[in-house]
Amino acid sequence: MPIYRAPIDDFRFVLHELLEVERHRDLPYFGELSADLIDDILTNAARFCEEVLQPINQSGDEEGAHFENGVVRTPKGFKEAYRAYCEAGWGSMAGPQSAGGAGMPMLISMMVAEMAQSANQSFAMYPGLTSAAAMALHATGAEWMKASILPKMISGEWCGTMCLTEPHCGTDLRLMKTRAIEQPDGTYRMSGTKIFISGGDHDLTDNIIHMVIAKIPEENGHIQDDLSTVNFFMVPKFLVSEDGKMGARNAVNTGGIEKKMGIKAQATCVLNFDEAVAFRLGPKPTPPKPGEKRSASAGMAGMFGMMNAARLGVGIQGISVAEVAYQNAYAYAHERRVGRALTGPMDPDQPADLEIVHPDVKRMLLHGRSFIEGARALAMWTTMNMTVASSNHPDKAKAELLTDLMTPVIKAFFTDMGYEVANMSMQVWGGHGYIRDNGMEQFVRDGRINQTYEGANGVQAMDLVGRKLARKGGAAPMALLQEINSFIAESKDDAAMAPFVGPLERGLSSLQQATMWLASHAMHNPNDAGAGAVDYLRLMGIVCVGWMWARMAKIAQTKLAKAEGNTEFYKAKLVSARYWMERMIPECPMLGERIAAGSETIMAFV
């Protein structure tokens, strides 16, 4: 059976040494966040994930979710684990105290989410999506919803989903056909089909609160082929009165569960809405005035808020699957004996040396570790910025810009790299990695979906290049470049930092040149932006993770110079930092060259 041990020491490092959370008492929810409280949360969450969730991950994959006679059932052990998860309060950590949540900073809940996803991605998606749906309801719902429905979602008594995709319509929401018709009592009747709905139906809770997007037809019944009439709705599986009592079954029926290559214990459903009762969230779309251009409905705001939170969560799933796959590959490399070290036998009394002695095995493992720890740092730095952006902090405006910019990078780059690390980790096992009993191939299958859902990674790249770079006159990339340049300037005279600052500066130069190239070419030929978007996103991801590694290397060097803390831990940090600078940063000029090649050859393909 595969293993998993939560990386508590690295969480502590990121929180206390890199982000210095103790210095941010002025941020919402940080005032009472002591080191002891953080440690208690992380160690108990780790124990739960290791002892309750991880043991049913492989068995849940083997069994999968069931659909029989219109009823969806989760695999053996999932209902009991979900009940224990809710009773322990893990799902309600970041929920508002007004609705029964613990009011913990998102920074802490994201670390718990990472552990849960490493231990059992299929399971973690049920409460994870519920949390995203609950926050959307908290932001956009009517007061009676916040009073009667939200607390039950925060506690886990009821689950939640997000319903966007339709059989003919994924990313292009203009093509949606699901419609919601207003009724005299102010509710709506919704009809249409949604597919790929994670947690769409199951037996973990008595009710499921679906957060759905649909179009509101015009008075003549016509549906516009744009986003002007798209709105956000709450559609419960069982109707709920304003006093919170659950009533009759709503007209939401499960058409089946998808037969998938991975996350098989996650009930990914087809949902049919047949005149289902729906409650509008957010403002009603207003028809444009004569001659006025149609624009996206204000009702889309709630959906985008939920999607952005989900995209950050999926990016962390990329870290999670890389972490658990790396751990199992590392353990195997220290147990399996094969061949001899190139410089001569390391264990002459044994028939062969351990696999870990071979340079290529070390390369694959170090590739994984350097990504995981660097990406974790960037994800938590971004999560901290999300908290700043939602507060009245002096840096609020800058934090909003950086969060907006980083969201597609974290979603796409982290899931690309997470899948890459899972593949390499399976490779460390050789042929045994291909055998289902050993569990490695499950990580590859589970990790592959992360690149696709919540907006495929190519779409994330176009969001970055087509929207985020130019928004507000390019304020976001300028803010990021200024942050990295400031660090370089502060560290450049430190000779010990040369192996980290020099490569970071070269990577940043490639990023700046690519940004300028896109700015000067994409307006004249949008295909240039499309052809270079994926490379540009990877370039930004490599540089940003490199920046985190340079910062962490500076901390590690200071600790080692003072002989403080666990010296082996800090030495390992420096090895991982050097790997990123020596093996990943050199990709930057190559990516820049590909971006500057433009789109002519690509567009010639028919």
Q: Distance between CA atoms of 440 and 444, rounded to whole angstroms?
A: 7
Indicate the Cα dihedral angle 544, 546, 548, 549, nearest 10°: 170
Closest residue by Cα to residue 326 from 416, 427, 410: 427
The angle subtended at Cα 124 by Cα 120 and Cα 129, nearest 5°, is: 155
**CB 539, CB 591: distance < 8 Å:** yes
HSE-up of residue 271 (Cα within 13 Å, Cβ side): 33
Q: Distance between CA atoms of 205 and 208, rounded to whole angstroms?
A: 7
Q: Distance between CA atoms of 75 and 61, rounded to whole angstroms?
A: 8
Q: Distance between CA atoms of 206 and 127, rounded to whole angstroms?
A: 14
Active site residue 219: no
Helices 359-389 + 300-333 axis angle, to 10 = 150
Question: Which pairing describes strands 159-163 and 66-68: parallel, antiparallel, or unpaired?
Answer: unpaired
Q: Distance between CA atoms of 90 and 80, rounded to whole angstroms?
A: 14
Q: Distance between CA atoms of 539 and 516, rounded to whole angstroms?
A: 14
In this structure, the number of other CB atoms found within 10 A of the CB of residue 298 comes to: 14
- 270 to 175, 256, 259, 422: CA distances (angstroms): 18, 5, 11, 29
Q: Distance between CA atoms of 551 and 577, rounded to whole angstroms?
A: 9
Catalytic residue among 454, 505, 564, 568: 454
Active-site residue numbers?
454
